Amino acid sequence: MSLAILADHDLTAANTLGLTCRAERLVGPANATELGEALLLAREAGWPILVLGGGSNLILPAFLPGLVIRPAMNDWWLEEVDNGSVRVHAEAGVVWHELVMALAARGLWGLENLALIPGRCGAAPIQNIGAYGVELAEHLEAVHLVHLDDGREAVLAPDDCAFGYRDSVFKHALAGRVAITRLVLRVSRTAEPRLGYGDLASRVAEAPAALEVAEAVCAVRREKLPDPAALGNAGSFFKNPAVSAARAEALREAYPDMPSFPLADGRVKLAAGWLIDRCGLKGWRDGAFGVHDRQALVLVHHGGGDAAGLLAFAARVAEAVQERFGVALEREPRLATE
């Protein structure tokens, strides 16, 4: 077996929250054959398996037993389709932001609003990543994966993925059961700017190029969000909650300036960051953790904390919102042990 397995490996730099974590064993398969070898080895030894991408939406414990698999399949390629469409094949280890910028630089439209989202392609469907009015699900054609228990390969169509707001089958029925190996995405050579979110339209020319839109999105994100390399964070820590129309109307009567967004199912989405801010928590810090001083939706790690401390801090933030607004907040980052 040709696999290089690292023992007692430090994963602190492998999660954007910067939580101290050590893996009992770590392997980085560079192709499907090596991934199959790693899965076979883990099955024969009875090791638990965790698949780790960029660690941008994951809360790691101090120690991960068994085998951590960090896919190092880093290729992507294009396939021309009729009517100006292009398929993008991206392996799990490809850095998402780098892919988005490369496509935008080629004048390919569809993913530019998802620029600067951290992480790797293999994790993108789990969260159904989205930003500035665009979700991954809109441009996904297929997810290639391997079942961890028997090495069986499968391909899921979008309808099989049960995509929702920051949600998918990979958080439920397939959670901890598969390794995503490749995405197939569809983009377009026809200009399709989506500029209705925030002040994007004012930041670009009247007929912008895809790269101009992507760079504008990057500028907005950098203004609002901390760089994980400088201050540990997992981006948005809470989902924007959805409430009934009646509940939203009652809240608007009490808080006329409250942002709200009607949903197709009749419910209304609220801005979790605004709710947290109105509780007076923006910039609040308690020990190792805090609420970011520019974007209340982001919880930050100042160093020296652990997963238990982060979850306790997050619970206090959620409790404050529940007390004041009667609205429950749901965590976005996944626990590695879930």
Positions annotated as catalytic residues are 166, 236, 332
Question: How many angstroms separate the CA atoms of 41 and 65, rounded?
Answer: 15
Give start and end residues of each alpha helix (H) in the chain: 32-45, 96-105, 124-127, 200-203, 210-224, 245-254, 272-278, 307-325
Residue 207 burial (10 A CB sphere; 0-12, 13-18, 19+): exposed
Residues with Cβ within 8 Å of 238's Cβ and at least 6 positions away in sequence, in order, are: 272, 276, 297, 314, 317, 318, 329, 330, 331, 332
Can you read off the two tokens belonging to residue 115?
């620029």
CA angle 54, 128, 76 (to 5 degrees): 55
- The number of beta carbons lying within 10 Å of the beta carbon of residue 253 is 9
Under 8 Å between Cβ of 336 and 66:
no
How far is C-alpha 94 from the chain's CA centre? Answer: 14
Alpha-carbon distance of 226 to 289, in angstroms, equals: 14
Separation of alpha carbons 98 and 12, rounded Å? 22
Helices (H) and strands (E) in the chain, counts: 8, 21
